[in-house]
Amino acid sequence: MLIGMTLGVAIIFAVDIANESSKRAFSLSLDAVTGRTTHQIIGSANGIDDTIYTRLRTQLGVRNSAPVIQGTINLIGSDGSAEKQYTETLQLLGVDLFAEPMFRNQPGQALPKDDQANGNVSARTNRDSLKLLHNGTVILAQSTAERLGASVGSSIEIADSRFTLTLISTVDTKVQANFENIAMVDISTAQEVLGLHGKLSRIDLVLPLKSQPAPVTQRTKKIEQNIEYIESSIPGVQVIEAARRNNALIQMTEAFHTNLLAMSLLALLVGAFLIYNTVTLSVIQRRTVFGQLRVVGVHRHELFRSIITETLAFAIVGTLAGVVLGYILGSALLTLVTRTINDLYFTLDVRQVSYSVFTLVKACGVGLGVSLLAAVPPALEAANSPPVTVTQRSSMEGRVSKIVPFIFMAGIGLIGSGALVLWISERSLWAAFLAIFFIVAGYSLTIPKLLLSLTSMGNQKTWNPVISYSSLGNYPLRSITASLSRTAIAIAALVVAVSATAGVGIMIGSFRLSVVHWLGDALQSDLYITSTASDNSLPAILIEDISTLENISGTRQVRMLNAETDKSPIRLMAVRNSGTSPQVYSFKDKANRPATPNTANSIQSAISPEARMRLLNTTDSVLVAEPYSTNENIRVNDTLKINTDYGLKPFTVVGVFTNYTSGKGLVVLSMNSFHRYWSDRNIDTIGLTLSQEVNAKDTKKQLRGLLSIYNDKLLMRSNTEIRTQSLEIFDRTFAITHVLRLLTIGVAFIGILSALMALALERRSEYAVLRALGTTPFQLRQLLLWQTGLMGLIAGVLALPLGIAMSKILVSVINVRSFGWTMEYHIPPIVLLESLILAIIAALIAGFYPAYKLSQLSPAEALRHQ
Amino acid sequence: MSDHFITLEQVSKSYNAGSTSHQVLGDLSLNVAKGEQVAILGHSGCGKSTLLNLISGIDYVDSGVISVANTNLTTLSEKERTLFRRQHIGFIFQSFNLIQTLTALENIQLPLQLNRYPATEIEARAKSMLTRVGLNGRDNAFPDQLSGGEQQRVAIARAMVHSPALVLADEHTGNLDADTGREMIELFSELAKSESQTVLIVTHSLAIAKTADRVLRFLDGKLIADDNLDATDLAW
């Protein structure tokens, strides 16, 4: 019983703390780079000119402002030996020390309470901080410095860069937790390291001043005036609320965390099943003892109290052990969660496992609550039955059989409610998860009835092909239904776990297939050349050199930058195709909004891809990636305002295309439009289409020679390499789901094991009779394995419809509502077969130990104690 | 080769209860002829059931030799004893011990299935046996749908359906009323005689013991009398 409770609580707690720790780190990371900032001045995709900051302070008199440069760097550390090098990815935060006090406090000192709550990173001008003014100096978290093997005064190399940084001070993360992911440098150092000479990522503002307390309405008015003043005085900049910008980032990861939470709910359901099963079994298997106690005069209230007290005592121990095990498991899961967030959204390095009181209370509450709830029915049943019948197990099974039709109807009702919730909720992710929960819980309630129906087919000889191999005929099959109160629960737990595996498996399979097709469409060039330089741009001369090569039939030039819009930040991709560079977009016609006569570039819904591309190349128009279209509700014919070097400019959406990249929304425009509104002339990727008649190897060799003169700053990859790498990242992203699915199966496995152990114990005398009739120990082992194999087979068969239903909801509803991705729905038969085999194998493995114990049974002793 | 169907030579058996050992049978020697119906009479705890368990090979001796049908059980492995029991011995228990999840017919079929009889023969033999014990038409009744007497009929049929040479009955009328008990004894005796089966019946009832050819009286693990009941029943 303890193992069951411990595992149930552990899985719930583990998923929760992995989720919560990564969320906390993400939130601290955001806070660290935002601080007390209320507003931010942002520019176009290339950042803003640092002269604007000078102008802001000197000419416009906006004193409460601080320039910031933000980027990502990889620091190289070692444990002292030259062989073992270690890379740590950190957020590089470049700040101006003289402007900072208003925004972020002093490193190493405990923050005032409100600042701790806000998680502000400090940089007040104390002696250590002043050393930051020396070029190439850095302040790191103490724990980060220790991991890198760096001490104050030592130099730290930056990966893929000629720069090194000198560590001048460390910050204790116990005092300032949000410093964990940060490398703080002076603004000039940041500009050098990131290659952003003369540029700033943004200017932070605190509006209004703290020294001007005013009523809310007046304060709002003052802010608006300030914003208007800055925007009208400096063309090309936009003032946005810091919280709004952070919210956009938070929303991006929120869907991922919600999905994890759903997995934890699934774990909770299976964990609750397990706890319920084990507690019920522990009570039921001692019915004889309880009957004897009633016979000798123990009152029903006393019996009830003692069962509940005992369960509570076990629950407390099991829950505490579960919390400890969950903490260990959660730490391991955290690595996977962090990796997925890094792959999908944001550079994050989570070192600290954290959990809230709520998480702890939730795990403990489930452990204790479900244990007690599970104990109440059998305890009541044992306490309220007359002494003679307490000792008869058949009385319990008799009652269970009577309520099976009602449980079935309740299950159907829940499934119906789930379908209704799904139908009436339009975009709510929570409603979708609630619907799945209803459907799964409802289906679980139908299991006893379905189990009875399936096994009764044995009477109609349907099971003959299966049971004819059993030396005891119908016995294994009948035993399953004879102990319905426990076998049904064990099978239900396995059904839920296996259906989740099948459902998620089908979803991942469908997703992977869609990604493979999308990569096939998107990666039409044969070779891609990218820059690893800090500003990502390719040398202009290289582009000219490449265009002169004879074996190239087409090129595709791309410039990728971050940009702001009137909605949320985007990743802007400017493209120029030349030669025979093929069409790479798969358009989503469903995203078309009816054309309006007033829209200059309005297009009809059935427009061809070629016409869309023509509009893209000739007008101020953009293509929008499907996730951005879904999340921001932007359709074809809508207008999207993008912050250009000349301020906010409107662009008509002429197409919504399939895209499975994550993070910020991707928006595509033609290079002509880009050059019209941005002064940036750099190219960061060039795709090359090779002439069909040429030898690819020779061309690659030729290109490698051409690239070698750029000192390893350029990278050439074939589309096959990119495709392979993309699919590797895809598979890594879903590693967390594999682990959670395995954990869920593990919990269900323990459920089956405990049910079989109890069955073996209860049926001891029956097995002794079989031994007396001439059943060998080996046959008895076989018998139990037959039984458990049949349970697995039934669970596997029953899991398939639920798995398919779950996968359909995951693909068509959850993914669309979470990430804005629609995908092809594909059921790989192998996933169904795997699920079936998984159920049988999990059940069979669970049967080994009880079967072994059974084969050790002494029939003489069992019969003597009858 | 011995003329006796069952031979026990200086058989001893003890059970451990905690740190103390309790001798159930001590230096017991006896013989039973083929086709003989023997009643084992004694109070609770005198070693009657243990004797059946040893003769059936369910339990093993501490010392001594047990032979059944010229097979020395004490030299056989657990598996060999089980296979021997399956083929040559039928068992009837006081509390019927029918498998609750199987029908009357399926319960009777069990020994035939274990002995790998052909499917058609399993069906025919089991149905015929069900008719012989007077339960024709109750094929599909589960044990909890049968009365005590009917359950014991099924148990008798199950013990004899594969025509074992030896049938062991352990207080097989203990849970039945007097009339039903008598009915069962007659049925059992008649079936055993028709097949020339050797029968050992454990009982503490003089009335049942009277129906046997021979009575063995046990007291505290010792055989204290081995004779015809008529000569000794007054002394008991």
Domain ranges of chain A: 1-32+244-391, 45-235, 533-712
pLDDT at A800: 93
pLDDT in tens, A616-675: 888 899 999 888 888 888 888 889 999 888 888 999 999 888 887 765 688 999 999 999
A303 CA: distance to closest CA in chain B (Å): 28
The band of A212, judged by pLDDT with boundaries at 50, 70 and 90, is: very low
Cα–chain center distance at A363: 20
Dist. CA A641–CA A647, nearest whole Å? 9
pLDDT at B223 exceeding the cut of 90: no
Dist. CA A101–CA A65, nearest whole Å? 10
Q: What percent of chain A has pLDDT over 70?
A: 70
Residue at B224 is within a domain: yes
| Per-residue DSSP letter, A60 | S
The band of A417, judged by pLDDT with boundaries at 50, 70 and 90, is: very high
Is the Cβ–Cβ distance between B151 and B130 less than 8 Å? no
Segment A74-100 shows an average pLDDT of 73
The band of B144, judged by pLDDT with boundaries at 50, 70 and 90, is: confident
Neighbouring CB atoms inside 10 A of A175's CB total 15
- In single-letter form, the type of residue at position A174 comes to K
Segment A816-837 shows an average pLDDT of 83
pLDDT at A257: 62
pLDDT at A235: 65
Segment B147-172 shows an average pLDDT of 88
Dist. CA A657–CA A624, nearest whole Å? 6
Segment A554-567 shows an average pLDDT of 84
pLDDT at A443: 93
Across A90-104, A622-636, A650-664, B5-19, least confident range: A90-104
Segment A796-825 shows an average pLDDT of 86
pLDDT in tens, A128-142: 566 777 788 888 888
Residues of chain A in contact with residue B144, where contact means CB-CB under 8 angstroms, are 394
pLDDT at A35: 58
Dist. CA A190–CA A132, nearest whole Å? 11
pLDDT at B219: 84
Distances (CA, A) of A666 to A30, A562, A595, A658, B118: 22, 9, 23, 10, 72
Q: What percent of chain A has pLDDT over 90?
A: 6
pLDDT at B234: 42
Q: Highest mean pLDDT range out of A76-85, A353-362, A730-739, B119-128?
A: B119-128
Segment A257-267 shows an average pLDDT of 63
| Residues 31 through 70 of chain B touching chain A, CB cutoff 8 Å | 49-50, 53, 56, 58-59
| Residue whose C-alpha is closest to residue A163's, from A197, A144, A182, A135 | A135
pLDDT in tens, B178-215: 777 777 788 888 888 888 889 998 888 787 888 888 88
Comparing A410 with A155, which gets the higher pLDDT?
A: A410
| Residue whose C-alpha is closest to residue A176's, from A125, A105, A97, A121 | A121
pLDDT at A771: 87
Mean pLDDT of chain A: 75
Residues of chain B in contact with residue A481, where contact means CB-CB under 8 angstroms, are 101
Closest residue in B to A477 (Cα–Cα): B101
Count of structural domains within chain B: 1
**What is the pairing mode between strands B198-203 and B166-170?**
parallel
pLDDT in tens, B101-131: 788 998 999 899 888 888 889 989 999 988 8
**What is the pairing mode between strands A647-657 and A639-644?**
antiparallel
B234 CA: distance to closest CA in chain A (Å): 31
Q: Provide the sign of the torsion angle of the four alpha carbons A161, A162, A165, A166, taken in this order.
A: positive
Across A443-452, A672-681, A844-853, B13-22, least confident range: B13-22
pLDDT at A453 exceeding the cut of 80: yes
Across A55-69, A270-284, A732-746, least confident range: A270-284
Residue at B10 is within a domain: no
Is the Cβ–Cβ distance between A828 and A509 less than 8 Å? yes
- In single-letter form, the type of residue at position A383 comes to A
pLDDT at A610 exceeding the cut of 90: no
pLDDT at B236: 45
> Dihedrals φ, ψ of A365, to 5°?
-60, -45
Closest residue in A to B116 (Cα–Cα): A471
Q: What percent of chain B has pLDDT over 90?
A: 14
Residues of chain B in contact with residue A766, where contact means CB-CB under 8 angstroms, are 97, 99-100
B208 CA: distance to closest CA in chain A (Å): 22
Segment A464-477 shows an average pLDDT of 62
Secondary structure E strands in A545-636: 552-563, 570-579, 621-625
Q: Is the peptide bond before A387 cis (omega within 30 degrees of 0)?
A: no
Residue at B30 is within a domain: no
Mutate to test the interface with B, among A773, A784, A787, A858 (most CBs of B within 10 A): A773
Q: Is the ipTM of this complex over 0.90?
A: no
Residues of chain B in contact with residue A765, where contact means CB-CB under 8 angstroms, are 97
Please report which helix (H) or strand (E) contains residue B170, including its range.
Answer: strand B166-170
Greatest CA span in chain A, whole angstroms? Answer: 103
pLDDT in tens, A285-311: 676 677 777 777 777 788 888 888 888
pLDDT at B230: 54
pLDDT at A105 exceeding the cut of 70: no
Closest residue in B to A767 (Cα–Cα): B99
Closest residue in A to B60 (Cα–Cα): A860
pLDDT at A347: 52
| Residues 63 through 122 of chain B touching chain A, CB cutoff 8 Å | 78-79, 82-83, 85-87, 89, 91, 93, 95, 97, 99-102, 106, 109-111, 113-116
pLDDT at A412: 95
| Residues 736 through 795 of chain A touching chain B, CB cutoff 8 Å | 765-766, 769-779
pLDDT at A456 exceeding the cut of 90: no
pLDDT in tens, A750-771: 777 777 777 777 777 788 888 8
pLDDT at A111: 41
pLDDT at A279: 66
Distances (CA, A) of A293 to A287, A298, B164: 10, 5, 42
pLDDT at A804: 93
From the list A765, A769, A776, which residue is nearest B83 (CB)? A776
Residues of chain A in contact with residue B86, where contact means CB-CB under 8 angstroms, are 773-775
Across A540-544, A732-736, B152-156, least confident range: A732-736
Comparing B72 with A611, which gets the higher pLDDT?
A: B72
pLDDT at B47 exceeding the cut of 50: yes
| Residue whose C-alpha is closest to residue A322's, from A280, A375, A261, A278 | A278
pLDDT in tens, A686-695: 888 887 777 7
pLDDT at A194: 82
Residue at B7 is within a domain: no
Beta carbons of A774 and B53 less than 8 Å apart: no
Return the CATH number at B212.
Answer: 3.40.50.300
pLDDT in tens, A353-408: 677 788 888 888 878 887 787 778 777 777 776 655 444 444 555 566 778 899 99
pLDDT at A676: 92
| Residues 504 through 563 of chain A touching chain B, CB cutoff 8 Å | none
Q: Tell me which residue range forms the domain holding B154.
A: 35-60+75-232
